A and B are shown apart, each in its own frame.
Chain A
Amino acid sequence: MSDTAESPTETQKEETQPPSDDSTTNDEKKKKKLMSKHTKTRIDVLLKAVGDTPIMKTKKWAVDRGRTVQSLSQFISRFLKLDANEQLFIYVNQSFAPSPDQEVGVLFDCFGSDGKLVLHYCKSQAWG
């Protein structure tokens, strides 16, 4: 998949925005309370660095459910200002690397805990 293309199945009508900061406004917090788990269009992702990979200043992000792993990976790479040829590996449960076209919403449903999806990222292969 190309660098700038979104997943072909994504139907988000709103303009693609970088994931919002952790400092959610009061309005957004109210919105989150009203939405049930199933209708929530954004899920909380916690990004953890592995090994000597740079640590993100902001670790907690609210990400659209339909966002792909590849899209998130590209965002992290840009945020960390990695070189274009530097790879980034993303892991769930510190055990498997999801397919680049996998939606984070599905990963959250299956592997989320305490209301968030924890993803580890690494510049080299960590868990094979």
Chain B
Amino acid sequence: MDSMANQKTVLAVTDDVVLPVSSVLTIMAQLGNERFDPLIVTQASTINQFPLDSSSVDAVLAISKTSDFPSDKICGEFSRILKPGGTVFVCKNLEGQVEDMQQTIQRRVTLAGFLEPQCLDLKSIKLSTFSLSFGIKAKKPSWKIGSSFALKKPAKVLLKVNLDDDLDLIDEDSLLTEEDLKKPQLPVASGCATTKKACKNCVCGRAEIEEKAVKLGLTEDQIENPQSSCGSCGLGDAFRCGTCPYKGLPAFKLGEKVTLSRNFLEADI
């Protein structure tokens, strides 16, 4: 082991033009991290890859005044260069609505693979050239590729439902009554006239009528020489009644052969 064994490495990165070392030291001390070796990268918004090996730094400190930094891609890079178990701090200096930004950043680091995002209030940190409003702290998982997953985190961790995200909104589920939460009743048909077909244990005779209609395939004669006692069959589906044998076929003239329809969206038979 080399003499830097006790020194932890931190990468401090910003999309701004400058970032004084003293500020980095102050922030890290406030966040509970002493004795480390800082590396500073500025104007980092367009960086594709950091010039660092994978799993090489203990912590990453990202500072920004803008909402876009760090982007999804850069968060991914943080994940790459951090040692397993390492910590990322995303610190923001923003006016006005911070809740949305907090949620957005939490989501971004989560999707980059970080665990246990926490929100920190950083307004009290005294810095010379700028100030901070809040920060998000998250951890890189400590498993390594290739090792087996004996890791069983205590159940508490997974079950912690983080309601901190929506501190300022009421819980919408509280608006529902017990009645609302019960499985809904399907509408009871009032009489079978309103149902789409006869009931399973039909007693009124409707089932028989429907069965007859289904079985009534058209005879050759009915196709060659169509007749209609009601007079409506030839007018097309819009005028036919429920039991009409010509249902589904195009309009026709009485006595003239029924042709196939010219439906543009019919499958080629």
Answer whether A and B are interacting partners: no
